[in-house]
Amino acid sequence: MDFDAFFKSELDGLHEEGRYRVFADLERQRGNFPRATRYTENGTQDVTVWCSNDYLGMGQNPLVTEAMKTAIDNCGAGAGGTRNISGTNHYHVLLENELADLHGKESALIFTSGYISNWATLGTLGHKIPGLIIFSDALNHASMIEGIKHGKCERVIWKHNDLKDLEAKLAAADPKAPKLIAFESVYSMDGDISPIKEICDLADRYGAMTYLDEVHAVGMYGPRGGGVAEREGLMHRLTIIEGTLGKAFGVMGGYIAASAALCDFIRSFASGFIFTTALPPALAAGAVASIRHLKSNQIERFAHQERVRRVRSLLDARGIPHMPNPSHIVPVMVGDAAKCKWISDILLDNFNIYVQPINYPTVPKKTERLRITPTPLHTDADIEHLVGALHQLWSRCALARAVA
Ligand SMILES: Cc1ncc(COP(=O)(O)O)c(C=O)c1O
């Protein structure tokens, strides 16, 4: 077989469908968030990033960067091993304690990413619990889907956020079978929020465990940044809360928080936890500093919410359509793959604004969008510049305006 010819023909398919991903080559500027230097064939350019998942700018917060530097000075660069074989550093232990406390759980377990935490935990539960049925929301993240598939247990997909459909599917299942309902709080592309209480009520009625991915909520919701479940006083009703250290906490890594027995079970049986090098201690130290800060300070959260409201109100004033939702994610709807990519390119090249276009298969065709994520550090001038640029491009593309 001509392997390279095969690879190229598969890539040609992506190009033809307009799905080939081009990465922006950026260097984030420390202390100057949300600015970055963009590298191109023609040189460099300063840009303002409008699509970062460093939602609160904590990746640039001096408390976090100083904690990481200190940990490097104390411990060096890498962890030096898997958690079992020499790689457990004291910062990992501190971080797991901090996370268990954040979510009001007995225990927590960290992984190298949120993706791996979902994949390893759901896969291990599916594989090890005899007869487990996992009820998975139709819009769950790829890492949950892959984990559930990997577990090779029975899986039932319920319509997104549809309690009636979930209940019908729970009722149709074998009453004696162990069950787990897997869902997210904030869905990352539409920014909608699931009915956590009602899902927990159904779980109680049908004796199911609950698994909540709070990746797009931890740090940002709840008085201590414990997520939407904390804000709604529901953390105790969830069997497992999963989160990331890579978005609002500004670093990298993933975790679950749950009972001591459950965390010990995953720690002891999940290959994606056992057979991989532990997180660098500096990442764990940075995450501890970030979580501690966001537990005791509302400044970033309040400023974030205010900036989101400001972006939405300026978009409304110009009639730029954006999907209404109760979260911090502002999907500006274009509804055409080519125009979405063109607008993103012109924003970057002519206006120094970086927003990655979101096209199929990440979102359904005809719902192509610019997923805008305001942060506390975007200024009024940044917001006016963004909305002014969109206003011009909307006219140039003859895109429909929203009616007030
Ligand atoms: C809902 C959801 N869960 C999990 C992940 C994976 O988290 P991480 O980026 O830490 O791997 C993502 C990533 O974007 C996500 O959107």
pLDDT tens digit sequence for 64-122: 999 999 999 999 999 999 999 999 999 999 999 999 999 999 999 999 999 999 999 99
Decide: pTM greater than 0.95. yes
pLDDT category at 183 given cuts 50, 70, 90 is very high
DSSP 85: I
pLDDT tens digit sequence for 112-143: 999 999 999 999 999 999 999 999 999 999 99
Beta strands in 43-162 (DSSP E): 43-49, 107-111, 133-137, 154-158
Tell how many helices (H) and how many strands (E) occur in the chain.
Answer: 14, 14
Asked if residues 30 and 51 have their Cβ atoms less than 8 Å apart, the reply is no
Q: Which ligand 1 atom lies nearest to the CA of residue 118?
A: 4
pLDDT tens digit sequence for 27-54: 999 999 999 999 999 999 999 999 999 9
Q: What is the spatial distance between Cα 49 and Cα 33, in angstroms, rounded to a whole number?
A: 8
User: Is residue 365 flagged as an active site residue?
Assistant: no
Mutate which of 143, 211, 214, 279 for ligand 1 pocket (most atoms within 8 A of beta carbon): 143
Taking the centre of ligand 1 as the mean of its atom positions, its distance from the CA of residue 54, in whole angstroms, is 12
Q: Which of the residues 105, 247, 341, 365 is marked catalytic?
A: 247
Q: What is the dihedral of CA 172, 174, 178, 181, to 10 degrees?
A: -10
Instruction: Dig out the tokens for 345 from the structure.
Output: 């390119």
Comparing C-alpha atoms, which of 181, 185, 187 is closest to residue 139?
A: 187
For 86, phi then psi, to 5°, come to 75, -5
Amino acid at 376: P
Q: What is the spatial distance between Cα 313 and Cα 201, in angstroms, rounded to a whole number?
A: 36
Neighbours of 396 (CB within 10 A): 11
For 174, phi then psi, to 5°, come to -55, 120
Asked if residues 368 and 340 have their Cβ atoms less than 8 Å apart, the reply is yes
